[in-house]
Amino acid sequence: NWNSNIHNVLVGGSFQCFSEDCWAEGTDPMTNKTGVFNPSFDFPHLDSVGIWFGRNLSGQGSGWSSPKKELAKPWIQKRSKSESALIEEFGANPWNVPDQDYDFRPKKGSSLIDSGVIIPGINDGKDTGVPHPEDGIDFNHTPLYSGQKRKFVGEAPDIGAYEYGDSVYWIPGFRYPHPSVPIPNDGAVEVPIDYSLVWNYPYKKDYSNTKASVKVSGPGVNLTKEFKYPHNVFFQVFEPGGTYNWSVTVDGVSGGNWSFKVDDKIYPLNDRSVDTTDKKSLLPYQINNLEVSQNKIAFLLFDIPSSINGNHKIKLNLVPESVVSLNGEIEIYKYDYKGWGEKRDKNNIGIIDHSLGTKLATLTSLANGTAVSVDLTDQIYSYGEEFSIALKVSDPSDKVYFYSKEKGITGRGIVTNVIVWPYLSFQ
């Protein structure tokens, strides 16, 4: 509908948009009489109105971008296939556990965060919107409870249905007479070290004064916290490789005992190769490799969890995709610029200062598909903050490609191939 508004949405590969929000002035199919309603050519305009369109973000051999790769741990259609179907398609089941995940929040480091727009009466924390200029009618629904129309978190709203860092996570569907739908799932493995626990409240006609008591126990954690409805997000940093148990009780009724196992590694929040001679803002493409060559430096940004300490052995792990030539060395430097990313802002990795810090290590004799590990224990001594590295060639005639955090098993990487992703491990 041409009179509808559309903002803060995630779209994959097909987007027939009939709203004027999708078109910069003079480019819409109504004015130009093109009949083409797929706005795949205008990233700057879509970005300005809070629309993330995957087909708009295609290039450099990686196909169009997938919304799923910008979310924490979303439901994935292929994961619902039978074991035999997955083995036939991939050679093995790509997932360690059969249960789906249901965390649709933007993942830490995603360009979705703070990239949306404010919609009065929806995400600004106010119960009223903007009355119609002719009849004064406010079409926003009356809130069902105080605080339902929550204000965004951070500098601006996020793109998508959920806010990164919000203390409320809406879980649709049936509500049981007890707390349910634990996130992460009961028995989940490879849960991120810096994560949050989420649950669904039991069904009640009146949630006034409803509170939840949440108990969490495991390595370094033995906590009981109380939450008032609708708050249902328990933020916590865990120990690498630890197994944790937790439970939620509401009105004296427990949802049972749940458990999960934490990963012993972290992946980059962002990783990107940059032509440092071409100072231009980069689009947040989901490129599945990192080129290191004469003018291209690969930058990787990690967020070291606060639970890490001097007793942990920290290793950087990389997998070369293609060693085109390597007569010299791959040099690994510390990169001191804080807060960089792939959003179209002043901290975009394409336009900021690319000066490198201390040389940390070097790599030689690389082979395609063979992982290499570098001990960075003595180089990382501040925890609970960002740590960036840069990969650079010593010989300008060399060129090496490493796998990035976007690499998938097939196609656009919706089914991730984390075994070849760069990561820091903690032992």
CATH number at residue 387: 2.60.120
Examine the domain organization and report whether 112 and 172 are in the same domain: no
Domain final residue, candidates 263, 282, 313: 263
Choose among 48, 21, 59: nearest CA to 37: 21
On whether residue 398 sits in a domain, the answer given is: yes
Examine the domain organization and report whether 226 and 278 are in the same domain: no
Range of the domain at 9: 1-117+156-166
Examine the domain organization and report whether 274 and 387 are in the same domain: yes
Mean pLDDT throughout 375-384? Answer: 96
Mean pLDDT throughout 333-348? Answer: 96
pLDDT per residue over 169-201, tens digit each?
Answer: 999 999 999 999 999 999 999 999 999 999 999
Find out whether 301 and 111 touch, Cβ atoms under 8 Å.
no
Q: From CA 406, how far away is CA 139, in angstroms rounded?
A: 41
Examine the domain organization and report whether 218 and 331 are in the same domain: no
Classified as helix, coil or strand, 70 is: helix
Most trustworthy range by pLDDT among 15-19, 118-122, 373-377: 373-377
pLDDT number for residue 249? 99
Q: How many percent of the chain have pLDDT more than 70?
A: 96
pLDDT number for residue 56? 85
On whether residue 64 sits in a domain, the answer given is: yes
Examine the domain organization and report whether 186 and 301 are in the same domain: no
**CA dihedral defined by 165, 409, 97, 317, rounded to 10 degrees?**
-70
On whether residue 16 sits in a domain, the answer given is: yes
- The Cα-based distances of 164 to 103, 128, 302, 303, 304 in angstroms read 11, 24, 18, 16, 18
Examine the domain organization and report whether 239 and 329 are in the same domain: no
Examine the domain organization and report whether 345 and 270 are in the same domain: yes
Mean pLDDT throughout 83-94? Answer: 89
pLDDT per residue over 49-68, tens digit each?
Answer: 999 999 888 866 667 899 99
Q: From CA 410, how far away is CA 358, in angstroms rounded?
A: 37
Q: From CA 352, how far away is CA 364, in angstroms rounded?
A: 29
Examine the domain organization and report whether 230 and 355 are in the same domain: no
On whether residue 221 sits in a domain, the answer given is: yes
- The Cα-based distances of 425 to 67, 73, 268, 276 in angstroms read 27, 20, 12, 29
Find out whether 212 and 232 touch, Cβ atoms under 8 Å.
yes
* Six token digits for residue 216: 């969490």
pLDDT number for residue 276? 97
Give the count of domains, the chain: 3
Mean pLDDT throughout 292-311? Answer: 97
What's the CATH number where 192 sits? 2.60.40.10
Domain final residue, candidates 229, 263, 297: 263
Partners of residue 165 on adjacent β-strands: none
For residue 341, pLDDT beyond 90: yes
pLDDT number for residue 413? 62
Q: How many percent of the chain have pLDDT more than 90?
A: 73
Q: Which residues of 317-329 are buried (b: 16+ CB within 10 A; e: fewer)?
A: bbbbbebeebeeb
Examine the domain organization and report whether 13 and 109 are in the same domain: yes
On whether residue 394 sits in a domain, the answer given is: yes
pLDDT number for residue 384? 96
Examine the domain organization and report whether 192 and 304 are in the same domain: no
Examine the domain organization and report whether 202 and 63 are in the same domain: no
Helix-strand-coil percent breakdown of the chain, rounded to 5?
Answer: 10, 30, 60
On whether residue 130 sits in a domain, the answer given is: no
Classified as helix, coil or strand, 32 is: helix
Domain final residue, candidates 216, 231, 263: 263
| Minimum mean pLDDT range among 243-247, 320-324, 406-410 | 406-410
pLDDT band at 335; cut points 50, 70, 90: very high
pLDDT number for residue 14? 82
On whether residue 391 sits in a domain, the answer given is: yes
Examine the domain organization and report whether 211 and 66 are in the same domain: no
Find out whether 190 and 96 touch, Cβ atoms under 8 Å.
yes
Cis peptide before 157 (omega within 30 of 0): no
On whether residue 392 sits in a domain, the answer given is: yes
